[in-house]
Amino acid sequence: MIQLDPKLFADPPARDGRFNVVGVWDEMENIYSDDGRMKKEFLHRQMHEEVNGLEIAARNLTDFPDAPWELRLAIARQCWDEARHVEMFKRTFEARGGVVGEFPVLCFEYRILTKIDTLIGRLAVQNRSFEAAGIQAIGEGLESVRRAGEEDLAQLFDTQLPDEIQHVRYANKWIKKLTEENPRSMMDIVRAVSHANAAFHIVAGEAVIQMTLDDQLKIEAGFQEEVTIIESV
């Protein structure tokens, strides 16, 4: 695994011997033509990203015990959602003949997010950026698998999407509330986003994709900006 700058990346979370954890996108098994393995690799990758989402949300609870109770409750609900998503992706992956650990995995989100030392900064990066990119991708993927008649994936995405929208929505709500109460916390957001951008480009390299949320998803997720640009891999 490529060693990443400890100034930008925290230590990775623990994994058992089934997993080959790599550091950057180029070390993944990136399959570009569907030889029967592309969808399996995608499901394995997404399953593991949901594990990362669960771990980040759990760390937000333990790292910021003095956060408002209503916000902590929303984060706890996100933990529950992410745990269900892990099981959903695992079940679908294994139904297609996959074996957990069959493909390499990344922990870049966890390593970037847990290096950010403010809760509002983490919400801005994880929920408002990474999760927002996810809802756009899920929406597009849902239309694609429906057209292809892949009912297992359509059901999975259809179940996942409302949860992910809610994760973005509650972050938007609380970022607005916290910045109104303490305008200086905007600087925490700026620092967190700058940090995440620098780290993310190291991980993604040339695989960075800019995504724009469509108008309906922006409304549902609680965005007020005219244009929302998300970077993803």
Q: Note whether residue 13 is domain-resident.
A: no
pLDDT tens digit string along 116-172?
999 999 999 999 888 887 777 787 788 888 888 889 999 999 999 899 999 999 999
Rg (CA), the chain: 17
Q: Note whether residue 11 is domain-resident.
A: no
Q: Which of 34-38, 39-43, 183-187 has the lowest mean pLDDT?
A: 34-38
Query: What's the whole-number mean pLDDT along residues 48-55?
Result: 96
H helix or E strand, kind and range, residue 83 = helix 69-95
Tell me the CATH number at 72: 1.20.1260
Rounded distance, CA 188 to CA 116, Å? 9
Q: Note whether residue 227 is domain-resident.
A: yes
Which long-range contacts does 91-99 make (Cβ < 8 Å, 24+ apart)? Answer: 92/43, 92/152, 92/153, 92/156, 93/40, 93/43, 93/44, 93/47, 95/152, 96/39, 96/40, 96/43, 97/40, 98/40, 98/43, 98/44
Rounded distance, CA 128 to CA 168, Å? 5
Instruction: Give the range of the structural domain holding residue 69, as residue numbers without chain letter.
Output: 21-232
Query: What's the whole-number mean pLDDT along residues 93-107?
Result: 96
pLDDT tens digit string along 158-208?
999 899 999 999 999 999 999 999 999 999 999 999 999 999 999 988 766
For residue 175, the number of C-alpha atoms closer than 13 Å in the C-beta half-sphere is 26
Both tokens assigned to 226? 């005219």
pLDDT reported for residue 214? 63
The count of domains in the chain is 1
Q: Note whether residue 2 is domain-resident.
A: no
